[in-house]
Amino acid sequence: MNGRVLRAQITMRCCGTTAPERTAGPCWQLFVVMIGRVDDWPVYTWPTSPQAPTVEERAAELALLGFALAEDAEWEWCESTTPEYHPHPEQVELMAAAQIRPLNGDAA
């Protein structure tokens, strides 16, 4: 690895998502932040549910995407509010991020 810090993020998509597939309601989405177009980032979308994925579920999906948490890394949670343009009243939005590493040892 070239020393570049990779990060994974997980966020609740309160109004569903259109990529990589459309969901009809709230869902959690995990993606690996990389250089380049957002459309090219590795992503996993859990089935529609407001329930946050467990640490074990996040680790399993990260592995399917070819990544694992970096040594001593933990998920760090933060909250904000949904933007004014959302078609519902303002609400709290949760997001978590963690440092990750490729499973094969290569730079992503």
Percent of the chain whose predicted confidence (pLDDT) is above 90 = 36
Mean pLDDT over 64-78 rounds to: 93
Q: Which pTM was predicted? A: 0.77
For residue 102, what are the CA distances in angstroms to 1, 38, 40, 79, 98? 8, 18, 16, 27, 13
With a cut of 80, say whether residue 19 has pLDDT above it.
no
pLDDT of residue 25: 76
With a cut of 80, say whether residue 5 has pLDDT above it.
no
pLDDT of residue 63: 96
pLDDT of residue 34: 86
With a cut of 80, say whether residue 53 has pLDDT above it.
yes
For residue 2, what are the CA distances in angstroms to 38, 106, 107? 21, 8, 6
pLDDT of residue 92: 67
Within 1-108, residue ranges assigned H as helices are 55-64
Mean pLDDT over 13-27 rounds to: 72
pLDDT of residue 2: 45
